[in-house]
A and B are shown apart, each in its own frame.
Chain A
């Protein structure tokens, strides 16, 4: 081996060593989504704009709703620009996995099944099912439904909980929510147990009927979703939610858009 060849070999070895070092560098540091967002100066938030009043478009086709207002608050606290990426219930987890969004804020209900592919923050809002009826009606709980007629779609969780909790109520079952809604609007029943978005839509569509949400039946807590393993981002998001829950901002946003007080939020 002459000196020239040896020096070439050493140079190659040095290059290989540098390459090896590059590959061996800790991946966690490279993947810190929180740092990436701050450095980029912009956060990509996936919001479903087809679930009013949580996420929707106003008359100028601008995103609005409780999730949009919460995302604006989050971006402000992070000191970055907000970019809303429209997602659907079906594509929100794939969008997160492929880095098209940093966070999901789409009335994203916490479930063990979804937690296999994403990390959930602590919750800051609730959806699920509610009991709706006339503003004048004096119903505040299941017990008050005794002797009252309540419509509900057959086979739903809402039907099961009415059957279990509302002893003494006359439960009028329909094949689907369209039929149960029609019975309500026609005045065939006074009360209606259904999914929160359906109730909110009816209240808006029939202002003359003076409907309101009487009480929350089943609660599905929603929170902010992010990629698994992003402990730094999770810690920041949980701190943001803690602060804005404690100072009442998130309760104010919920009341403003959903029209009922935010139930006391549990902690995850």
Chain B
């Protein structure tokens, strides 16, 4: 009889478990949660100007902050920006401390093992800058020219892979020295990211610099969501579609980043 009682208790336990069910991915609906909460938690590394940074009043600013505001407005909820570092972006998202991850969050296959990416709406690449009068229209025009670059940067690697034979890379310890070398005429051109490059063109209008060529790859950034959050991903992709097609993202990019945004591809 005692055995029977134990069996009954066990059965009851099984029933309890069955009803409660294991926690499943389908139970997660971040979109509904955000709307119910009336607030979206957006993670962002605020040490990446001009995409995301703190202004003189310690308020979040930059192109990504503007996109986050558009996103919250379209969802009809309040915006809370949660500051992250570059390193803890994915852990913050995966553990639910934020609903989505932004901050010029580049799409890479290794990151996609842990999170889902939306369609992209912005990008970064490397460029070659030179005075307007310098004749550079393609890689071949770089033959016989000297190009300055800051040592150890991503652009240095990209240049080494892309430059034709006969083009000379001149390395400097930092970007201000590499810039100065172009200003003094010690080199013909300067290789740098399109974002600081565009800022330089703007800062010294009297030097009449211009972006001559873009050097692939171009890294596209988008909004990260937790894996299997299909409802939220679908909403974000609709948001991205809408503002991509009506030109809002291109306008914002040109206004804040200072470079033209090529038409974003679709993920």
Q: Does A140 touch B at the CB level, under 8 Å? A: no
B235 touches A17 (CB 8 A): no
Instruction: Specify which of B11, B12, B234, B266 is in contact with A115 (CB 8 Å cutoff).
Output: B234
Quick one: given A229-B231, A266-B245, are A13 and B11 in contact (CB under 8 Å)?
yes
Which residues, 16 to 71 on A, are CB-close (under 8 Å) to B?
16-17, 20-21, 23-24, 26-28
Instruction: Specify which of A21, A28, A268 is in contact with B26 (CB 8 Å cutoff).
Output: A28
B15 touches A17 (CB 8 A): yes
A20 touches B19 (CB 8 A): yes
Count residues of A near B (Cβ-Cβ below 8 Å).
31
Contacts of A8 in B (CB 8 A): none
A24 touches B242 (CB 8 A): no
Contacts of A112 in B (CB 8 A): 74-75, 235, 238-239, 242
- In whole angstroms, what is the CA distance A221 to B238 when docked? 11
Q: Does A96 touch B at the CB level, under 8 Å? A: no
Count residues of B near A (Cβ-Cβ below 8 Å).
29
B26 touches A27 (CB 8 A): yes
Identify the interface centre among A9, A13, A115: most chain B CB within 10 Å of its CB: A115
- In whole angstroms, what is the CA distance A6 to B8 when docked? 10
B4 touches A110 (CB 8 A): no
Minimum CB–CB distance for A78 against chain B, Å? 21
Residue of A whose beta carbon sits closest to that of B19: A20
- In whole angstroms, what is the CA distance A252 to B21 when docked? 51
Residue of A whose beta carbon sits closest to that of B27: A27
Q: Does A99 touch B at the CB level, under 8 Å? A: no
Minimum CB–CB distance for A10 against chain B, Å? 8
Q: Does A257 touch B at the CB level, under 8 Å? A: no
Q: Does A231 touch B at the CB level, under 8 Å? A: yes
- 9 nearest A-B residue pairs (beta carbon): A112-B74, A115-B238, A268-B241, A267-B266, A112-B239, A20-B18, A20-B19, A24-B21, A115-B235
- Besides the known contacts A26-B26, A266-B241, A268-B237, 7 further A-B residue pairs in the complex with CB atoms under 8 A apart: A1-B1, A24-B18, A24-B19, A24-B21, A28-B26, A112-B75, A116-B75
Chain B contact residues, CB within 8 Å of chain A: 1, 4, 8, 11-12, 14-15, 18-19, 21, 24, 26, 31, 35, 74-76, 230-231, 234-235, 237-239, 241-242, 244-245, 266
Chain A contact residues, CB within 8 Å of chain B: 1, 6, 9-10, 13, 16-17, 20-21, 23-24, 26-28, 110-113, 115-116, 119-120, 219, 221, 228-229, 231, 234, 266-268
**Can you give 16 A-B contacts (C-beta < 8 A)?**
A13-B12, A17-B18, A20-B18, A27-B26, A110-B241, A111-B238, A112-B75, A113-B76, A115-B234, A116-B31, A116-B35, A221-B245, A228-B231, A229-B230, A234-B234, A268-B237
